[in-house]
Amino acid sequence: MGKRCDWADSGNQALRDYHDQEWGFPTTDERQTYELMILEMMQAGLSWQTVLNKRAAFRKAFKNFDVNQVAKFGQSEYEGLLVNPGIIRNRLKIRAAINNAQLLVSWHQRGESLNRYLWKMVNNQPVIGHYDSLKDVPATSPLSVKISKDLKKKGFRFIGPTIVYSWLQALGILNDHLKSCPSYSQAISAAESLDFDS
């Protein structure tokens, strides 16, 4: 059995579990797509371990990442988030999370889905990386630049190419597990059972 990706062995059990069970495994779940967008935004400038340690608090503060509820957050909810010790209290990131939820509500009203939008960008097939070492994995790609520009044009905030790249990795749209990692082939197998119609 191979060794899991180096970054996942550098933290606690929550980080290892996230790597082994979620990161890089393709999902078609819209709520999870929004959740991971927000967590990746919040991670900017911090470690992923820090974000994972606060994930339960984020879920509580952001109503389990229900975009319909987050989209209704007004000034009092915003100010409450700014003093919530369980989450990352960055004004720009919190405003972006609310703004992006409001945009997604309008997408959903038009019958559109953020998850479907992202998968269409790769023709419904995950992009499989072929990396032997963590240092070989890029921080951005032409795909993440393209999506970042397009989403910004559509009004989304705090969604630069590096954040988008990490988000695509988390969603399994990019499988950047190292080739030696057991999750590499597991994520490839998981992609074979993707169902975009459910």
Annotated catalytic residue: which of 23, 34, 35, 48?
Answer: 48
Return the axis-axis angle of helices 161-170 and 142-153, rounded to nearest 10°: 110
119 labelled catalytic: no
**Alpha-carbon span 102 to 117, nearest angstrom:** 17
Query: Which residues in the chain belong to E strands, given as ranges?
Result: 127-128, 174-175
Annotated catalytic residue: which of 40, 131, 167, 184?
Answer: 40
184 labelled catalytic: no
| Matching residue, tokens 């994520």 | 187
φ and ψ of 4, to 5 deg: -65, 160
Answer whether 146's CB lies under 8 Å from 193's CB: no
Q: Is 181 marked as binding a ligand? A: yes
Q: Is 130 marked as binding a ligand? A: no
192 labelled catalytic: no
Q: Is 11 marked as binding a ligand? A: no
Q: Is 5 marked as binding a ligand? A: yes
Q: Which residues are annotated as a binding site for Zn(2+)?
A: 5, 19, 177, 181
Which residues have a catalytic role annotated?
Answer: 18, 40, 48
Q: Which residues are annotated as a binding site?
A: 5, 19, 177, 181
